[in-house]
Amino acid sequence: MLNAEDYLSGQVLLIDKPLHWTSFQVVNKLRYELKKSFKLKNIKVGHAGTLDPLATGLLVICTGKMTKQIDSFQGQIKEYTGTLVLGSTTPSYDLETAIDKTFQTHHITTQLIQETTSQFIGDIQQIPPIFSALKQNGKRLYQFARAGEEVNIKSRQVTIHAFEITNIDTLNIDFRIVCSKGTYIRSLVHDFGKALKSGAHLSALRRTGIGDFNVSKAKSVEYFLKSLPSE
């Protein structure tokens, strides 16, 4: 069992983020429980890459002196699996907001879906969703969105190393994506829908890898907390 000095010296914790939790909530929970279990006044805890509340999967959490390595972990390649729904869009590009538009899908074939993925391989330009925590003019983008204010969001280059369709069930499309830091899967799904001359939104997302770290080695928040000494 690790002791207080181990966590202060620095640990890398692989946590499987639960649905509806923010990454910040996971970090806060772990910090609070570490302080309580080891009677610490303070301990540094941070994560190497945010996951949306509606996403699950791998969070790399660093404690103590290992927080200095967060930037190097954030820059590593990410892997995701998920499901998109064809024929409709939402303002947030996922299920955080309700469907606002519907589109024709009768022209979309399995072959067209498979062929269209090739348009998104390599270096591409994408515009982050307005429902995101990115800052512009000192405000989070989602603050503009919730206030109904328009904002000009600049596109940025990201790299898609792999975009595979793993299952097609009518309008529900399962996929696997390997991508660079800064990629918004929601934006990729939104643009994929447009490339199909239709619409699409993200209905499920799971991060399965960051660099050499895999979610198969990750522990739930509950499992980690049970590993701490009780008072």
The residues carrying an active-site annotation are: 52
Q: Which residue, among 161, 159, 202, has the nearest Cα to 178 in the 3D structure? A: 161
Instruction: Tell how far CA 133 is from the center of its chain.
Output: 12
Is 134 in a helix, a strand, or coil? coil
- Contact (Cβ atoms closer than 8 angstroms) between residue 186 and residue 82: no
Euclidean distance between CA atoms 138 and 66, whole angstroms: 29
Please provide the size of the chain in residues: 231
Instruction: Tell how far CA 213 is from the center of its chain.
Output: 15
Say which DSSP state 94 is in.
S
Q: Which amino acid is at 38?
A: F
Is 69 in a helix, a strand, or coil? helix
Q: How far apart, in Å, are the Cα atoms of 63 and each of 43, 209, 216?
A: 7, 20, 21
- Contact (Cβ atoms closer than 8 angstroms) between residue 75 and residue 53: no
Is 101 in a helix, a strand, or coil? strand
- Contact (Cβ atoms closer than 8 angstroms) between residue 90 and residue 99: yes
